[in-house]
Amino acid sequence: MVRQDKRARLKSIVTDGTMAIPEVEGEWHHDPYRTLWVEVSNLKMGQAVSTDYGTISRTPQLSGMAAIRRDTVRLAGWGDTCRVLPVTIRPAIPQEDGNGYTPFTGVLGFIAGDREFRSEDAWFLECWIPEMDMAAMLAAYRAGEMPSFHLGVKLDLWITKGDEHTPPGYGVTWYLAPHADHASESPEVARGTVRHLSWSDAPQPKVDEDDGVPEQGPPLQAPADPAPNLDTANLAAAIDRLRSTVLQVGLCIAVALVVSWFV
């Protein structure tokens, strides 16, 4: 996403469950029922070892690019829109410092680009699942049985007033809101839970390069008449001449006999 060189510093105000942004028209509130659905593909597996803050953490992860199904994610006040974003799945492993993420936790956020560091605007969605489920996903990925997976998360995103009446099956626009305690150029992250995670364990069919439909050859044509043999042609002509000569001689003999009969 292209970085905005002049991004406004915004702050939100939340009153009785309704969010407003000074100098920005509109009202937003939470939807307690809807789920944000994404399909994640182009998967990659990785390992991370960290020694931050004097502790060691080892974390495998599975990442990919997610296409948002039906819905749209935007930044309230700024207007940035997202339909595709990177997703990372990690195991909820307790760390040596006693911290760690609760299983089935999800976080969606946006980081504004920084001109000084030449960074671009970036969206992200990260989720933590139990170790046994993470192990099953990694096993399916290593076996080549998981080209993609589906993820449903319920986060404390916002929707505009009136979108709560949108019928099920139709898309809505979700919003990340500015911070409520201070003005900033980036919104506050949305937090919540993983409601659904599914993938296929079926082996993917392999296509043999040697297998395929044979190429169609040119259409069959009737064989051409064989060229006449020169000796055969000469012999046929000689026989025709002989027959003509025999007929002429026979005719002459017949005429002579008739004439001699009357003489």
Over residues 17-76, the pLDDT tens digits come to 999 999 899 999 998 889 999 999 999 999 988 787 677 777 899 999 999 989 999 999
Instruction: Report how far residue 49's alpha carbon sits from residue 210's, in angstroms, rounded to the nearest whole number.
Output: 43
| Domain contains 225 | no
Cβ atoms of residues 186 and 202 within 8 Å: no
**245 found inside a domain:** no
Identify each DSSP E strand in the chain by its residue range: 13-15, 18-21, 24-29, 36-50, 57-68, 72-75, 81-82, 84-91, 105-111, 122-129, 149-155, 159-160, 173-176, 190-199
Domain count, the chain: 1
Evaluate whether residue 254 is within a structural domain. Answer: no
Percent of the chain having pLDDT more than 70? 71
Task: With a cut of 80, say whether residue 251 has pLDDT above it.
Answer: no
Which pLDDT tens digit goes with each residue over 66-86? 999 899 999 999 999 999 999
pTM of the shown model = 0.72
The residue type of 44 is K
Residue 91 inside a domain? The answer is yes
pLDDT for 105 equals 95
Q: Note whether 103 and 92 are within 8 A (CB).
A: yes
Cα–Cα dist 61/31, whole Å: 30
Query: Which residue type sits at 217?
Result: G
Give pLDDT, residue 42: 96
Least confident span in 68-82, 94-108, 121-135, 247-261: 247-261
78 lies in which domain range? 13-199
Confidence of residue 190 (pLDDT cuts 50, 70, 90): very high
